[in-house]
Amino acid sequence: MLMQNRKVIILGSGPAGCTAALYVARAMMSPLVIQGIQPGGQLTIASEIENYPGFIDPVKGTWLMQQMEIQATNYGAEVVMDHIVKVFLDEYPFKLIGDGGTTYSCSALIICTGAQARWLGLPSEEKFKGYGVSACATCDGFFFRDKEVVVVGGGNTAVEEALFLTNFAKRVTLIHRRDELKAENVLQDRLFKNKAINVVWNTVIDEIKGYNEPRQVTHVVLHNVKTEVSYELAADGVFVAIGHSPATDLFKGQLDMRNDGYIHTHPNSTTTSIPGVFAAGDVTDNVFRQAITSAGMGCMAALEAERWLSA
Ligand code: FAD
Ligand code: NAP
């Protein structure tokens, strides 16, 4: 079976993984980046990025991630297409197994496996993803200036997204499946005071409707779970805010995690419960979840790994 041994392995090729790779490569430690099934990470499904510093005009997510990867490989990082299915963090060097059977070992491991937004699971949601359906108001809210949008969910994220969207949209409708929100009281208070937001209780989305050419959302079909009444509501955008799932299944039982499943890192650090294992980006962050914060943590992880190895 193929065997790859490296001083540093970086799991994931999103902004955190690519930035970690750049810094580790510049420290002359030739890191190996294992890309996983989403090369470039979540940004590759974002249409336009307007808030990554350094670019005056909007850039495509795929382009930005290609640039990050090329920058890292130019300094000596190697990127491989593989998806890790098993890790052995109780062995040293750490051991990882790819889905094709390749075994990898490393002295320091930087975990940048990110997180994935939870979706409603409707076929029409899949159809309009990136064309009016989004899971990130900070990223896509700007495209809904003076439009009508709906937000689905009842937690802190949904309420924050709804409040944020009032900066752009002319009307925001929050759709929640129950008759009370899960969000903190202080956020609920702000929500109920905001005249641009209407809350629809006990309701779920059955379907998202729109045009095919150009692909564009026009309506949602709502369904009141108490009265069983269904009706249509005009909407240009649908923001799904029903939580995120960090990609941490691989590490369960091996690394300390928080109650919400994110990898626990020490304060102001990317160090985890196992010395030599570092975690950066969305896999450890349920608050900021931005490309720039992930890249920043990738840089921190590389510097900490470098110091740990030389100590
Ligand atoms: P991710 O980008 O999630 O990358 C995770 C990587 O880990 C992937 O390469 C994946 O293949 C790999 N991986 C996972 N499991 C394994 C495994 N078992 N083995 C090997 N590899 C694995 N942020 C902004 O700042 N601005 C925006 O405009 C913006 N727009 C967005 C639009 C959308 C639609 C979405 C979904 C997100 C957007 N974000 C935006 C958020 C941003 O994309 C994330 O915060 C950022 O990508 C997180 O980076 P990351 O490197 O931590 O993880
Ligand atoms: P969350 O707290 O898990 O809330 C998810 C919401 O989505 C819940 O209201 C849930 O409904 C609803 N939901 C789940 N699945 C659904 C489905 N299939 N269809 C319709 N609705 C569905 O997630 P979150 O709001 O993303 O927050 C995640 C974590 O980050 C939390 O710990 C939160 O406190 C934290 N966070 C904090 C801040 C802050 O401090 N400012 C901001 C954002 C997030 P039910 O209520 O019926 O379960």
Per-residue tokens: 79: 């990127």
The pLDDT assigned to 71 comes to 98
Q: Which atom of ligand 1 is nearest to the CA of 38?
A: 11
pLDDT by position in tens, the chain (length 311)? 678 899 999 999 999 999 999 999 999 999 999 999 999 998 987 767 888 999 999 999 999 999 999 999 999 999 999 999 999 999 999 999 999 999 999 999 999 999 988 999 999 999 999 999 999 898 899 999 999 999 999 998 899 999 999 999 999 999 999 999 999 999 999 999 999 999 999 999 999 999 999 999 999 999 999 999 999 999 999 999 998 899 999 999 999 999 999 999 999 999 999 999 999 999 999 889 899 999 999 999 999 999 999 99
Catalytic residue among 18, 106, 112, 139: 139
> 18 an active-site residue?
no
Whose CA is closest to atom 43 on ligand 2?
157
Which DSSP state fits 227?
T
* Catalytic status, residue 139: yes
pLDDT score recorded for residue 208: 98
Closest CA to 110 of 258, 306, 310: 306
Q: Given this model, what pLDDT does residue 50 score?
A: 86
Q: Are 6 and 79 in contact (CB under 8 A)?
A: no
Distances from the Cα of 75 to the Cα of 11, 29, 278, 296, 298, angstroms:
18, 10, 21, 18, 16
From the CA of 178, give the closest atom in ligand 2.
47
The predicted pLDDT at position 123 comes to 97
Ligand 2 pocket check: which of 187, 242, 258, 287 to mutate, most ligand atoms within 8 Å of Cβ?
242
pTM here? 0.83
Amino acid at 245: S
Q: What is the pLDDT of residue 44?
A: 87
Q: Answer for the pair 309, 107: CB distance below 8 angstroms, yes or no.
A: yes
Q: Which amino acid is at 16?
A: A
Burial tier of 212 (Cβ tally within 10 Å: 0-12, 13-18, 19+): exposed
Per-residue tokens: 15 = 């902004």
pLDDT given for residue 192 in this prediction = 98
